[in-house]
Structure 1
Amino acid sequence: MSASADADFFARLAELNDKFAGSLPQTLGRLAAARNAFDTHRPPPALIEQLHAVLHTLAGSAATFGFRILGQQARMLEQRLRVLTTFDAVAPQEWEAWLSELDVFVAWGSVDPKAAYPNDETGA
């Protein structure tokens, strides 16, 4: 019975892995759409919250489904976004710098989210 339970567990996990991988293009598309709607002079709080929520979800679940680097990069973007939101005012150039990082993340994730991250010197 234990072997059957293990087989069922791993079959279900494989199904969830496939579901996660299949949802990545849509998730990355949501990030790209939010980025394209982002006004660096007056960023809408709801859009910032949306970006944070998507990045937080990716950061928390990606490694579970075999996308360790994707999760790490999402966490770094999420943390940087959280820092920016702690300030009363953020210069448009600071938002542009963060959005440029988001652009790299989305472009990379759209091609091969299990590949080495661009300019990653850790060799991960």
Structure 2
Amino acid sequence: MATLIDQDFFARLNALNDKFAASVPSTMARLRDARMRFEPHAPDNALVAELHQMLHTIAGSAATFGFRVLGQQARQLEQRLRVLMAFETVSPPDWENWMAGLDEYVAWAEVNPKADQYP
């Protein structure tokens, strides 16, 4: 017997897609704000955790809503951040290198977060 398709499924899915798309600018603004508060000479562990959580959330949900590359790039930044978090001490240049990648990502996402290529 065939499974009946919930008539409202696609309407709900489209509404969720629209909600995610509408949230991208504020998410990028939050990433930019956190990055601006980041001090590579004395990183705040709570801020590092906040950045990690934001990137993890983007990475986990972006592809579901048609933002495949946005999610892939968030995952790469998240993984690089996780490596830095594993060390007792990280040099300021290593943090600055990671932050440059974050800056590039946010600038790209602010222009076209649904793009299918990343520079």
Using structure 2 for the length normalisation, give the TM-score.
0.94
Q: What percent of counterpart residues are identical?
A: 60
What is the number of equivalent residue pairs in this alignment? 116
Within-5 A mapping of 1:4-23: 5=6, 7-23=7-23
Indicate the residue corresponding to 1:2 in structure 2.
4
Indicate the residue corresponding to 1:117 in structure 2.
118
Q: CA deviation at 1:113?
A: 1.0
User: Please, what is the CA RMSD of the aligned residues?
Assistant: 1.1
Structure 2: where are the runs of 5+ without partners? Answer: none
Indicate the residue corresponding to 1:45 in structure 2.
45
Within-5 A mapping of 1:1-124: 2-3=4-5, 5=6, 7-115=7-115, 116-118=117-119
In the alignment, the residues of structure 1 paired with residue 114 and residue 100 of structure 2 have an alpha-carbon distance, to the nearest angstrom, of 20
Q: CA deviation at 1:2?
A: 2.8
For residues 26-72 of structure 1, the C-alpha deviation after alignment (integer angstroms, 9 at most, x for no partner) is 11111000000000000000100100000000000000000000010
Using structure 1 for the length normalisation, give the TM-score.
0.90
Structure 1: where are the runs of 5+ without partners? Answer: 119-124
